Amino acid sequence: MRMIPLIALLLAILLRPATGSCSQAPAGSPNPVRESRLRAVTFNLRFASDKSPNSWAARRPVIKSCWNWMDADIVGTQEGLFRQIKDMEADLPGYNWIGLGRDGGSRGEFMAIFFKKRRFEVMEFDHFWLSDTPSLIASTNWGNTNRRMATWARFKDRRDGREFICLNTHLDHAIQGAREKGARLIRDRVLAMKPELPVLVLGDFNAEPDRESTYHILTHDGLFRDAWTHARTRRNEALSTFHDFRGAVPGSFRIDWILTRGAWSWDHAETVVFQKGGQFPSDHHPVLADLRW
């Protein structure tokens, strides 16, 4: 009778699952690479105004509802003033942001990048101005009267340690030459960044893709790819992204872009038409892309 416990112990040892090196995949088998999914949005907020209609007070709760509906991982915003950014910080507790006013400090419009703070960690960030002196705050010398700039950051995904770069910008609305020079500067700056890292470029480019060379400068040789044109599915593709608070405006005025560099796949792109009680969040529709890398 005393032999039964000993026999049971020996059987348990012999039948125990293998661990350590014996559990590895057979030699020569491919190592599976797990894809990361990311929802990116570019969103011109329209600067804060106290004038009706479409005052900031009226639009603020609609932006919050729209934002929560989109549930984006990272959002590049344009035109937001500091008080708008702070209001959104209070309304969106799941997000952090980085940015700088285009006139320096808290002054002027921001190219702020919002990101889910539980998912991403900022590893580094910086700003530059779209001019011949990009390090000089509020510099402009291409004939444009509005100061134009870009904000960028290198993010680390807390879930798997992967990193990518996101750059957010707003090109000039009035002068094509300034837009084209801004596109070349952005291209040069991205080329100087770590080539192994995927890059997102979000922004209001104030240019239709087929109407001038701004788009061509960024995409002609495949350095950047347009998430909209490469997406497997698209929604609201017959609408302009700028609508001047008129809603679903048919047309090709697609001036808000999401561009990618590196090993991205593009599942879905959408011009987000959102309103509550007839109030639109902005004079631009947000543009959304579901990506994988």
Helix (H, G, I), strand (E, B) or coil at 213: helix
Residue 4 lies in a domain: no
Which residue do the tokens 């507790």 mark?
93
Q: What is the DSSP string of 8-42?
A: HHHHHHHHSPP-GGGGSPPTTPPPP-PPPEEEEEE
The answer to whether 168 touches 76, Cβ cutoff 8 Å, is yes
State the residue range of the domain holding 248: 35-292
Residue 17 lies in a domain: no
- DSSP 8-state secondary structure symbol assigned to residue 186: H
The answer to whether 150 touches 144, Cβ cutoff 8 Å, is no
Structure tokens at 127: 């700003």
pLDDT at 210: 85
Domain of 183, CATH number, reads 3.60.10.10
pLDDT at 77: 98
Residue 146 lies in a domain: yes
Distances (CA, A) of 179 to 43, 44, 57: 19, 17, 32
pLDDT at 15: 38
Question: What CA dihedral angle connects 100, 171, 79 and 93, to 10 degrees?
Answer: -60
Burial 172-204 (b: 16+ CB within 10 A, else e): beebeebbbbbbebbbeebeeeeeeebbbbbbb
pLDDT at 182: 98
Per-residue tens of pLDDT for the chain, all 293 residues: 444 444 444 334 333 433 333 223 333 334 445 789 999 999 999 999 999 999 999 999 999 999 999 999 999 999 999 999 999 999 999 999 999 999 999 999 999 999 999 999 999 999 999 999 999 999 999 999 999 999 999 999 999 999 999 999 999 999 999 999 999 999 999 999 999 999 999 999 999 998 899 999 999 999 999 999 999 999 999 999 999 999 999 998 999 999 999 999 999 999 999 999 999 999 999 999 999 98
Residue 142 lies in a domain: yes
Residue 12 lies in a domain: no
pLDDT at 19: 33
Domains in the chain: how many in total? 1
Residue 20 lies in a domain: no
pLDDT at 2: 44
Beta strands in 6-135, from DSSP E residues, in sequence order: 37-44, 74-78, 95-98, 113-116, 120-129
pLDDT at 28: 39
Residue 21 lies in a domain: no
pLDDT at 186: 98
Residue 5 lies in a domain: no
CA dist., res. 85 & res. 203, Å (int) = 17
CA dist., res. 129 & res. 142, Å (int) = 11
Largest CA-CA distance found in the chain, in angstroms, rounded: 98
pLDDT at 33: 55
Any residues with CB less than 8 A from the CB of 250 and at least 6 apart, and which? 238, 239, 240
Structure tokens at 110: 């921001």
pLDDT at 129: 98
pLDDT at 75: 99
Any residues with CB less than 8 A from the CB of 245 and at least 6 apart, and which? 53, 54, 280, 283
Closest residue by Cα to residue 275 from 234, 247, 237: 247
CA dist., res. 87 & res. 70, Å (int) = 18
pLDDT at 283: 98
pLDDT at 23: 28
Closest residue by Cα to residue 184 from 148, 215, 207: 215
